[in-house]
Amino acid sequence: MASRTLDIPTVIGNRVLDGASHVGRLAYFTLDMIRGLAEVKIWWPRALTEAWNIGVGSLFIVLLISSFAGAVTAFQTGYQFTGNIPYYVVGTLVVSSIVLELGPVLTALILAGRIGARYAAELGTMRVTEQIDALESLGRSPASHLVVPRVVAGLIMIPALTILANLAGILAGWWSVKLVLPVTNADFTYGAQSYWRPWDAWYSLIKSFFFAGSITVIACYMGFSTQQGAEGVGKSTTGAVVTSSVLILLLDTILTRILLNQ
Amino acid sequence: MIELRGVKKRFGSQVVLDGVDFDVKEGETVALMGPSGTGKSVLLKTIIGLIKPDAGTVVVDEKDVFRLKRKELADLRSHIGYVFQNGALFDSMDVSENIRLGITNGEKYNDLDYVHERVRQCLGLVNLQPEVALKYPAELSGGMRKRVGIARAIAGEPKYLLYDEPTSGLDPVNADIIDELVQRLARELKVTGVMVTHDVRGAFRVANRLALLTGGKIVMQGTPQEFHASQHPKVKEFLERDFDNPSFAA
């Protein structure tokens, strides 16, 4: 019976090589995608269809989750309130929490699951059934036919959904806070406006734009890299959701440091 | 003309192609035979540049496929029709759109009257009714999917047609229909064909010339008569079962 020992340096070395090869392939993939942008007539109509699918298909779940997030934020604010803090601060806290963090991050995480999984599974299935090879064999660019429309649609619709998620979260928080604290509408709007900076809205949008890029590019890359049939499609789909979720949290930290702590 | 010289390809530790030399002259139909998993499809994909060999050269019409720029490769591919093993039809598009994608000339692709007529013609060439144009791949049988795959491959009026196991998974009647179709397309469209298959009977019916790929090498190339007469052990071993099959003799 062969002895099985864990060769840690080899395992680490393989992981590093594997990671480096993914980075290299992702760079080529992104370069291909940028080249594909030149074929506007090919990708634009497909991007509109994809944008419609993302927008209509995700609107309900995004609004639902952001509303709950807004309500929970309001209830927790109410729980932590003591008599020494003026009530209008609740408006500040709810709006800031939603716009700066919960709206863009929750929306991105929901869409990483919903859109990222779908894109990776679709493209992965196309890869294992040779549909991507078929496109190439016809002298057509898979990037302009399959990747660019999905990425562009994500870059348009995910920030748009984030704006709606922010609004839904704020409204739900506003309504909910009145259930637990004696806050008037005037208190809430005063608090919301007092510490409001237009940059906060831009920050929320910029973050969602980066999240959109990471969700769509990673999902398409994972789908394109699929190997070995149905099992491979499953792995790509899981990989796309996990990788883009981690990337969203990483980008969230980096962008917060860069954009808010100058 | 298609010329492969010293083509090598390995996947991990598995050597698939080990210095393959292979030629296809204009106007002929060559059947590339071999047991399953010997790299026939890999070889076919190197011809069109879908798989890059580790070593060796692939030359089509005097152009080295792996030295071409992106646009040049796309242009070369527009002269080559590739029929995938399971059709590889785009399942989100109907048959008409699938065949339309095979029209590689940009002007013709955007001319809807031409597209409509060409789709009808191509469906006719593969013995399918025009109504099939409106169906989706999921609504087609395996044989119909293969024929639509062929219709898509010929839509761009290619000079070469590469068939990857066109009869695999089909019953004998449908396999015969596809074999006849391959013969008819070679005759009527004057295309040069390479057919990867492990169906010996079909290969002998369709091809002017045969090649046997096994152990990563082409062990023999020749006419069907030369294959019949060959005493090469690998050839005999591969053909033995089919020679014993009474339907083969017919």
Do residues B98 and B90 lie in contact, with contact meaning Cβ atoms separated by under 8 Å? yes
Residues 6+ apart with CB under 8 A from A67: A168, A169, A171, A172
pLDDT of residue B241: 62
Q: In terms of CA atoms, which chain A residue is nearest residue B100?
A: A138
Do residues A111 and A62 lie in contact, with contact meaning Cβ atoms separated by under 8 Å? yes
pLDDT of residue A105: 96
* Chain A interface includes B102 (CB < 8 A): yes
CB A137 to CB B48 under 8 A?
yes
Say which of A130, A139, A141 has its CB closest to residue B88: A130
* Chain A interface includes B48 (CB < 8 A): yes
Single-letter amino acid code for the residue at A253: T
The position carrying tokens 């809430």 is A188
The Cα of B84 is separated from the nearest Cα of chain A by a number of Å equal to 7
Q: Tell me: the pLDDT tens digits for A70-85?
A: 999 988 888 887 767 8
| Cβ-Cβ contacts under 8 Å, B73 against chain A | 139
CB B101 to CB A140 under 8 A?
yes
Which tokens belong to A37? 């942008």
The Cα of B102 is separated from the nearest Cα of chain A by a number of Å equal to 6
| Mean pLDDT, chain B, whole residue set | 88
* Chain A interface includes B198 (CB < 8 A): no
Do residues B160 and B153 lie in contact, with contact meaning Cβ atoms separated by under 8 Å? no
CA B233, distance to chain mean position in Å, is 27
Please determine, for residue B175, whether its predicted confidence score (pLDDT) is greater than 90: no
pLDDT of residue B237: 83
The pLDDT of B217-246, averaged and rounded, is 80
In A40-184 the beta strands, taken as DSSP E runs, fall at none
Q: Tell me: the pLDDT tens digits for A166-220?
A: 999 999 999 998 888 888 899 999 998 988 889 999 999 999 999 999 999 999 9
Do residues B95 and B39 lie in contact, with contact meaning Cβ atoms separated by under 8 Å? no
Q: Tell me: the pLDDT tens digits for A40-64?
A: 999 999 999 999 999 999 999 999 9
Residues 6+ apart with CB under 8 A from B193: B28, B29, B30, B160, B161, B162, B163, B182, B185, B186
**How many other β-carbons are positioned within 10 Å of the β-carbon of residue B49?**
19
Question: Which is nearest to B65 in space by CA: B210, B162, B197, B170?
Answer: B162
pLDDT of residue B240: 76
On whether the B2-79+160-249 domain is CATH 3.40.50.300, my answer is: yes
> What CA–CA distance (Å, rounded) separates B164 from B80?
13
Residues 6+ apart with CB under 8 A from A34: none
Q: Tell me: the pLDDT tens digits for B79-111?
A: 999 999 888 999 989 999 999 999 988 889 889
CB B74 to CB A133 under 8 A?
no
Q: In terms of CA atoms, which chain B residue is nearest residue A123?
A: B90
**Domain segments of chain B as ranges:** 2-79+160-249, 87-158
pLDDT of residue B242: 58
CB A141 to CB B91 under 8 A?
no
The Cα of B235 is separated from the nearest Cα of chain A by a number of Å equal to 31
pLDDT of residue A53: 92
Which position has the higher pLDDT, A84 or B77?
Answer: B77
CB B74 to CB A141 under 8 A?
yes
Residues of chain B with pLDDT > 70: what percent? Answer: 96
pLDDT of residue B246: 44
CB B50 to CB A139 under 8 A?
no
Q: Tell me: the pLDDT tens digits for A98-153?
A: 999 999 999 999 999 999 999 999 999 999 999 999 999 998 899 999 999 999 99
- pTM attached to this predicted model: 0.85
Phi/psi at A76 (5° precision): -65, -35
> What CA–CA distance (Å, rounded) separates A167 from A62?
11
Q: In terms of CA atoms, which chain A residue is nearest residue B74?
A: A139
